[in-house]
Structure 1
């Protein structure tokens, strides 16, 4: 009868489990409304088509310079941030794989267990066995053997996932794992942009040195011409002094630019995970990346699918939603099964006496929290608030991403317009220098006009170089802001 009652109790626990299987708690994740526009503000780039998005182009196809691609490839392999991100992915993957085993029971084995307890006369009891009788001695009044057990056993415990705690934990860990991948992708896109900008800066610094040296040669020839006129008594020493000052200004740019080149090379070497040293450059600054008529900006909807930071923010929201479900499930009853099987005896000689020493048992528990000082309720409410925070962060990330693309589009377009004006200014400055020299030789212009023309030409050339660099970087920013670079 007792055995039948025990079986009925176990069956009752399983019946309860089946009854509440359909009562899983929590809310399934749904992407919030992002209120995305149909297109980016400033999407008027006439030289782009309307087919595939720039963001879908791999960085190996977007950049054409072989030297730059080698630098990017080295950075993706040896950069310390990238290597750390890969370790974070491995860690998250380990936790995600471990969670798969939470559906299985936990099994522990006691290889050899010995339990001997002693009591004295004030304990209010006598020896629990006839051990002293068998030994032919009398039990002492103090510290007599009260319990003596020797056992070897295997036990298991299994919590049934009634309310979806384990499945929600799986969703949370999966989201966190995918978030680490998106973090790695975000590091890659930013790293590629940083390497490309650093490389462009090197090219532009080289161009600036060429401008400075070319202007220095022009100043040298002008100074020689003025010295001849001074020797002929046509001008004063003031002309020589002012021309020399203009020459020294151009000459001082060279060591400053050489310093900037070394600093930029060292910065690039850090990005590629190498000690300071020289960086090899390509032979031309033209056609550094793709200018394909069959690519487009895409739509703002693609931001959610392409940008790693946006995707990562959504995975954080998924993880926060799963955690809220877990905290809600913690407030409900839990069903667990436990069992043990092994051998147990009160005397060492009977330790492995079969079947006399066999030990077995199985049980089930349906437990529920009653009074936890509102701890479980507060944890659930805080988890819901954290989920709301994650949703706000996701929406903010999307908003900033769309705005960043719009800024990049406008920057590309307006810098292109500025470049046209800068090229015209350089052509005009070169003409002014030639005319000033001719007029000065003919006595129709002063040395001040020559110096002014040369100074304007130097500034115009340097400004054009800087605008070219800014224009190149704006394309990189546009590529990165659209989510390109991690494929």
Structure 2
């Protein structure tokens, strides 16, 4: 009884010590000087930062394209899947802080050599053997290795979420920019075609004047050159429209094809861009937040590395039964057990 009480006391004492020591530095956010107050109404700034800014263009087609990209874009789907991956890594790492348990069972028939080193006098040969075991182990986190690893895994998970937000912002910006480029090219194409039609009318007028001897052939050649120049610009613009449509189709997660049109470039409402926004707003940028989480993870892994300088302390144990007769497998005489404190 005395030995059992001593063992229980030692285990309890070690368990209490697991929360007392954590090697490695705690993360401290670097101090950055920022303005003490907003230079304009805070509510206005927060409303602007929290809004779906592409809605301010007042183009339902653009809004639909953004929604399609958020649902179908392959890069965004990959970023979302990586969050699930790092969720698994986090819970796997965190699980190392707790005891692990397992069980096994075995049944086999074996024959030993009668000429070998192992004597088989008085034994049945071959013979049956049945085993059933429960085992457990717990590496006590005395130096905070697993706590620091969990801290790093948590930061990596949060960094992955910020990476997904970065993909979202980049994707939405790219979709909106490509759509505006298409509408600008449409306007340019429209103007170029009107210019070609106008120069065609001018050329026809010059041809009549040349036929009547009013102008020289040089003036007629100049009018023909300007008309041909306007016509030559149309294929280049049409090709640019097609290339931009193809690029936008890739962002939408679909095969290259035509893109629906909404408001013209002149009808789109320009979003309001406030001035005087303090640098504190940069803390909401996902790429900056992702970089900070990477810094937190690296800082936590310093503690993991330092903990390797110290010995590990574990508790292991197993309990089971072994018998050559299945009917005696769960009798008291068949029991076997062991425990230890490996260091």
1:364 is aligned to 2:341? yes
Give, in angstroms, the shift of residue 105 of structure 1: 1.7
**Counterpart in the other structure of 2:122:** 131
How far apart in 2 are the matches of 1:174 and 1:63?
A: 38
**Which of the pair has the greater relative contact order for Cα pairs under 8 Å at 6+ separation?**
2
Asked if 1:166 is matched to 2:146, the reply is yes
CA distance in 2, matches of 1:59, 1:86: 22
- Once the two structures are TM-superposed, the CA of residue 200 in structure 1 deviates from its matched residue by 0.8
Matches within 5 A, 1:264-343: 264-286=244-266, 288-289=268-269, 291-292=271-272, 295-296=274-275, 298-304=277-283, 306-343=284-321
Check conservation: 2:34, 2:278, Cα contact below 8 A.
no
Q: How does 1:48-447 map to 2 (within 5 A)?
A: 51-53=44-46, 54-59=48-53, 61-114=55-108, 118=112, 123=117, 127=119, 131-132=122-123, 150-286=130-266, 288-289=268-269, 291-292=271-272, 295-296=274-275, 298-304=277-283, 306-345=284-323, 347-348=324-325, 351-365=328-342, 367=343
Bigger proportion of residues as helix: 1
Counterparts in 2 of 1:96 and 1:297: CA distance versus 1, 3 Å:
farther
Kept in 1, the 8 Å contact 2:59–2:263? The answer is no
**Match in the other structure for 1:380:** none
Is the 8 Å Cα contact of residues 245 and 256 (structure 2) preserved in structure 1? Answer: yes
Q: 2:156–2:293: 8 Å Cα contact kept in structure 1?
A: yes
Secondary structure in 2 aligned to 1:327?
helix
Q: CA deviation at 1:229?
A: 2.5
- Using the size of structure 1 for normalisation, the TM-score is 0.63
For the Cα contact (< 8 Å) 1:38–1:300, is it kept in 2?
A: no
Shift of 1:107: 1.4
Render the CA deviation track for 1:29-54: whole Å, top value 9, x for unaligned.
11123456789xxx9xxxx9774154
Deviations 1:326-368 (A, max 9, x none): 11112212221112122113x3356415121122333323x1x
1:156 and 1:177, CA in 2 relative to 1: closer, same or farther beyond 3 A? same
Aligned match of 2:16: 18
Offset, 1:19: 4.6
8 Å Cα contact 1:17-1:335 kept in structure 2: no
* Residue 156 of structure 1: how far off its partner (Å): 0.8
Q: What's the secondary structure of 1:302's corresponding residue?
A: helix
Give me the CA root mean square deviation. Answer: 3.0
Shift of 1:298: 2.4
The Cα offsets for residues 384-437 of structure 1, whole Å up to 9 and x where unpaired, read as: xxxxxxxxxxxxxxxxxxxxxxxxxxxxxxxxxxxxxxxxxxxxxxxxxxxxxx
Query: Which deviates the most, 65-74 or 224-233?
Result: 224-233
Aligned length: 341
Tell me if the contact between 2:55 and 2:63 (Cα under 8 Å) persists in the aligned partners: no
The corresponding residue for 1:371 is none
Match of 2:31 among 30, 33, 37: 33
Distance 1:316 1:63, change over 3 A: farther
Q: Which moved more, 1:74-83 or 1:49-58?
A: 49-58
SS in 1 for 2:255: coil
Partner of 2:236, secondary structure, is helix
Residue 83 of structure 1 deviates from its aligned partner by 0.8
- Cα shift at 1:14: 3.8
Cα distance in 2 for partners of 1:155, 1:67 equals 62
Aligned to 1:458: none
CA contact (8 A) 1:10 1:364 kept: no
Contact 2:18 2:140 in 1 (8 A): no
3-state SS of paired residue (1:52): helix
Deviation at 1:228, TM superposition (A): 2.7
Give the CA deviation at 1:60.
Answer: 5.0
1:320, 1:351 → 2: CA distance?
55
Structure (1 or 2) with the larger CA radius of gyration = 1
SS at match of 2:333: coil
Contact 2:107–2:128 (8 Å) recurs in 1 = no
